[in-house]
Amino acid sequence: MTRRIILAGGGHAHLAVLADWAQRPFPETERWLVTSTRQTAYSGMLPGWLAGIYPAGELLIDLEPLARQAGARLILSDVTGLDAAARQLTLASGETLAFDLLSLATGGEIDTATFAALGDRLLPVRPVGAFMARWTHFLTAIAGSDAPRVVVVGGGAAGVELALAVATALARQFRQPQVALVTVERGFLAGHASAVRQRALAELAGRGVALHYGEAVGTRHGVLLTNGTGLAADCVIAATGSRAPRWLAASGLACNDQGFVAVGADLRSISHDAIFAAGDIINRADRPLERSGVHAVKAGPVLAANLRAAARAAPLKAYQPRGRTLYLLATGDRRAIGSWGGLMAAGRWVWWIKDWIDRHFVGRYTRPGEGGR
Ligand SMILES: Cc1cc2nc3c(=O)[nH]c(=O)nc-3n(C[C@H](O)[C@H](O)[C@H](O)COP(=O)(O)OP(=O)(O)OC[C@H]3O[C@@H](n4cnc5c(N)ncnc54)[C@H](O)[C@@H]3O)c2cc1C
């Protein structure tokens, strides 16, 4: 009996699943990929793109050839609903799709509710493709300006990298750009060693990025912080971390209290055997696991193996992350800060490693012959 397997979202983990399907036959299955856009962006290279180091083509992965090689039917649409018990997905078009097995890797969303007053001045960093288009438009719109003002909200690795990249990019083009980073103090590179935070503070200061501690809300002219400070801005980049997609709430899937899909170490929903998930959309029920591209990528091969195993009711594997994860933060000037447990390293050689890892990863899916896929 042919079983229908649907991958929802072109997220990092699904790249490995598509590669697995392309490599080995998967008999008695009908395979689908449903995702919002044909190209998926590799966010690790986004700061490098902003800083002018990479052209857009270097970080965009075209899902069409990957789906074709995997024998998967590609549907370009947003998933807007899921009925886990009835095994049915709803798409933005209103169409419904039945499945025997489903895997979710649609990532997280940026919560923009507190920034609504900004209107067009708000640039959420996700979806990354839309962010890239709007940033390009913003640069054109401010071309005649002397002193454009950009505020980045979010003190995680992404916010810090984006602030440094924006400062680098604007300094090249404008006389007196003003770049600020706003974060709650405890959220500034939380989970990283003090040496990493100190190094990042020095980089921000060296690049003229003003750091403000506090919670920000959007106003018509910029942001207002909890301490009363107002920051005028031509553009506010929201890099405030992932929120669970809203459509999950009515799905019937077991989720944690923030709405992320609860999965076990085998990446299977703890409530519905036919549903798997990986990347930023999950919450591991068996252990804490931070949301990062590293884990989304590394979970991919396990997810691929488990979808095959589930199709024939065989035992599943576990995704067990290593104790420490290496994070490489780009500083916008072909240098990077490396963070591994309590250790910190920084400099050009750290950037070379990051650049090699990132290009190699994207190359596996854009130039399969060269990347060893
Ligand atoms: C600027 C920046 C830099 C970062 N740098 C790093 C880094 O250096 N290292 C690191 O480990 N992490 C990094 N991260 C975090 C990392 O990007 C995420 O953890 C990772 O992208 C999560 O992958 P994912 O597969 O869950 O989702 P995503 O990469 O967000 O992919 C989601 C996919 O699903 C599609 N999709 C979304 N919604 C729907 C829908 N409703 N229906 C259908 N399809 C949908 C999207 O089009 C996309 O193809 C960074 C994040 C940012 C913003």
Atom of ligand 1 nearest to the CA of 14: 25
**What 8-state DSSP symbol labels residue 76?**
E
Q: What pLDDT shows up at residue 368?
A: 65
The C-alpha angle 320, 313, 295, rounded to 5 degrees, equals: 20
Q: Which of 90, 106, 325, 350 to mutate to test the pocket of ligand 1 (most atoms within 8 A of CB)?
A: 106
Q: What's the CATH number for 3-109+242-321?
A: 3.50.50.60
Q: What's the 64 CA to ligand 1 centre distance in angstroms? A: 18
Ranges in the chain annotated CATH 3.50.50.60: 3-109+242-321, 113-240
Half-sphere exposure of 301 (CA within 13 A, CB side): 6
Cα gap 64→61, rounded to integer Å = 9
Residues facing residue 7 across a β-bridge: 33, 103
Q: What percent of the chain has a predicted confidence (pLDDT) above 90?
A: 92
Give the three-state DSSP class for 219: coil
Cα gap 201→207, rounded to integer Å = 10
Residues 16/21/23/29 CA torsion (nearest 10 deg): 160
User: Which residue in this structure is represented by tokens 């602030």?
Assistant: 163
Residue 324 pLDDT level (bands cut at 50, 70, 90): confident
Ligand 1 lined by 106 (C-beta under 6 Å): yes
Atom of ligand 1 nearest to the CA of 78: 42
Residue 371 pLDDT level (bands cut at 50, 70, 90): very low
Domain 113-240: give its CATH architecture: 3-Layer(bba) Sandwich (3.50)
Q: What's the 28 CA to ligand 1 centre distance in angstroms? A: 31
Residue 369 pLDDT level (bands cut at 50, 70, 90): low
Return the amino acid letter for 284.
R
Give the three-state DSSP class for 335: coil
Average pLDDT, stretch 212-231? 96
Burial of 120 (0-12, 13-18, 19+ CB in 10 A): exposed
Average pLDDT, stretch 256-276? 98
Query: Is the pLDDT confidence value at 65 over 60?
Result: yes
C-alpha 190, offset from chain centre:
18
Q: What's the 1 CA to ligand 1 centre distance in angstroms? A: 34
Buried b (16+ CB within 10 A) or exposed e, 29-67: bebbbbbbbebbbbbbbbbbbbbebbeeebbbbebeebb
